[in-house]
Amino acid sequence: MSTPDAIRARLRACTAGHSGWKEFEDACTEALTYLFVPPLANPITQPRSYSGIDRRDAIFPNRNHDGPGNWWHLYKELGARMILFEFKNYDTQGVGKDEVNQTSNYLSSPMGKLAVLCSNKQPEHQAHIKRNTIYSAEKKVILFITPTELIEMLAIKERGEDPSNLILDLVELFYVQHE
C-alpha cells in the first residue's frame, strides 16, 4: 500500500472526465482502504447484482456489529452493514439528482441506509435537494465527499485520530441541514 503522500499525489493528479475515471476510482478506493481497513473489511470493487443490471463502484463490508466506534454506531443507526461508495469524475457536468437517485437505488435493504458519493466536484443544488427527499421518504443517508475530504482524512489519520470521525460529522451535518 502507498504512503499518505503518494495517495494525496494520486488524488490530485487525476484527470477530470471520462479519460480519468478509472484513475479517479482507483485513487479514491486506495485512499478509503488506507483510511478505513481495518476496521472495515477490504472493499469489493465493481460488484454486480445477481441479474447483472446494477454495478456498484466499491462496497466496504462493515463487520463492526458489537461496538464500540463510529462504524458500530453507523451500523446501529443506519443498518450500515455494507458501506457503498460511488465515484463520479466529471469534467463539464456536475453531480446532480440523477447520480443521487442511482446511488439510492443501489442501497438494498441488506446493505443498509448509508452511501457516500465521492466526486471530483461539489454536487449541484439539485443533488442536495434529491438526497433530502430520499431521506424523507426512505431514511437513506447519502453523503457527498471530494478528494479534499479524503486528503483531510489522511491528515486526521496521520495525527493518530480516527478518520471516520469526519464521516460521522458529515452524517450529523446532514441531519442538521435536512428539511
Write the pLDDT tens digit of every residue in 132-158: 999 999 999 999 999 999 999 999 999
Question: Burial of 38 by CB count in 10 Å (0-12 exposed, 13-18 middle, 19+ buried)?
Answer: exposed
77 CB-near residues (< 8 Å, 6+ apart)? none
pLDDT at 64: 87
Q: Does residue 27 contact residue 11 with C-beta atoms inside 8 Å?
A: yes
**pTM reported for the whole predicted model:** 0.94
**Dist. CA 134–CA 157, nearest whole Å:** 32
Q: Mind listing the pLDDT tens digit of every residue in the chain (179 residues)?
A: 689 999 999 999 999 999 999 999 999 999 999 999 999 999 998 756 666 666 688 999 999 888 789 999 999 999 999 999 999 999 988 899 999 999 999 998 999 999 999 999 999 999 999 999 999 999 999 999 999 999 999 999 999 999 999 999 999 999 999 98
